[in-house]
Amino acid sequence: MAEITAAMVKELREKTDAPMMECKKALAEAGGDMAKAEEILRVRLGNKASKAASRIAAEGVVAVEVAGDGKLASIVEVNCETDFVAKNEEFLAFAKNLAQLVAQKDPADVAALSALPLGAGTVEAVRAALVGKIGENMAIRRFQRLAAKGRIASYVHGGAKIGVLVDVSGGDEQLAKDLAMHIAASKPKALDASGVPAELVEVERRIALEKAREAGKPEAMLEKIADGAVQKFLKEVTLLGQVFVKAADGKQTIEQLLKAKGATVNAFVLYVVGEGIEKKRSDFAAEVAAQAAAARA
């Protein structure tokens, strides 16, 4: 009997996206023949599962779970390839189950979450089975578990494309809900200036300096102009500095709103589906031209 190595199992898993143990069983059954093992898995999981893992999964949903009377919450992003599948009931149920598991079990990372029991098997087994059944790559991208100092409000927007958790002390339920909706709409990068990555601030400073130089501003004024641009940027990207989306006068900032309500935002989490994932763009005209050229050849 041929020896089935870890490298062989890994290679087959990457080709088929099937669970690791299924790959090992298929290789053993095929006597180590990779092509035959892939055929065995295609029979078991369906042709749709083959090579799904190589495709970009930039669509999907965000699921949230709030438990413990608002003292504990979780948020998870699960990706797929198309918006059509993101609306599939089984896919949505899978995402919801993951949010509940994160809240209950507090896994350390995606690998730990994938190994948790779910249904008759594990999270990974359920994911792989869905890939085989639906025919698209699916990936658990990220998650976070939030234990509140105050009380957590949640908000999911745009067909579960944007999800928010916000931990608020003081104020009332309506304020917390308004804050969650504001975060979804305005997408702050941090609570205050201390949370904004230094590299982002530096980029804004460089851009401001270059713009001022191109505009012919005096050299002695450049740093002051850059400082002003950075301060404007920080107000735009920090929650406390942003103007409240429901402000009657169009001027009240979140910081001013919280002070008026005797409340504090302790933390927030914002997930936007596919954020930072480079989506594959196809050029239909180029594809047609290439096919025509191939036909002529």
The whole-number pLDDT of residue 47 equals 46
The whole-number pLDDT of residue 284 equals 40
Taking only the tens of pLDDT, the chain with its 297 residues reads: 578 998 898 888 877 777 788 888 889 999 999 888 887 877 676 544 444 544 556 789 999 999 988 999 999 999 998 989 999 999 999 999 999 999 999 999 999 999 999 988 999 999 999 998 888 889 999 999 999 999 999 999 988 999 999 999 999 999 999 999 999 999 999 999 999 999 989 988 988 898 888 889 999 999 999 999 999 999 999 999 999 999 989 899 999 999 999 999 999 999 999 887 755 444 444 444 554 555 554
Map the chain to HEC letters. CCCCCHHHHHHHHHHHCCCHHHHHHHHHHCCCCHHHHHHHHHHHHCHHHCCHHHCCCCEEEEEEEEEHHHCEEEEEEEEECCHHHHCCHHHHHHHHHHHHHHHHHCCCCHHHHHCCEECCEEHHHHHHHHHHHHCCCCEEEEEEEEECCCEEEEEEECCCCEEEEEEEECCCHHHHHHHHHHHHHHCCCECCHHHCCHHHHHHHHHHHHHHHHHCCCCHHHHHHHHHHHHHHHHHHHECCCCECCCCCCCCCEHHHHHHHHCCEEEEEEEEECCCCCCCCCCCHHHHHHHHHHHHHC
The whole-number pLDDT of residue 21 equals 84
The whole-number pLDDT of residue 38 equals 81
Q: Are 13 and 21 in contact (CB under 8 A)?
A: no
Phi and psi (nearest 5°) for 270? Answer: -125, 120
Q: Are 77 and 142 in contact (CB under 8 A)?
A: yes
Angle between helices 6-16 and 34-45 (to 10 degrees): 50
The whole-number pLDDT of residue 251 equals 93
123-152 per-position pLDDT tens digit: 999 999 999 888 888 999 999 999 999 999
The whole-number pLDDT of residue 274 equals 87
The whole-number pLDDT of residue 181 equals 97
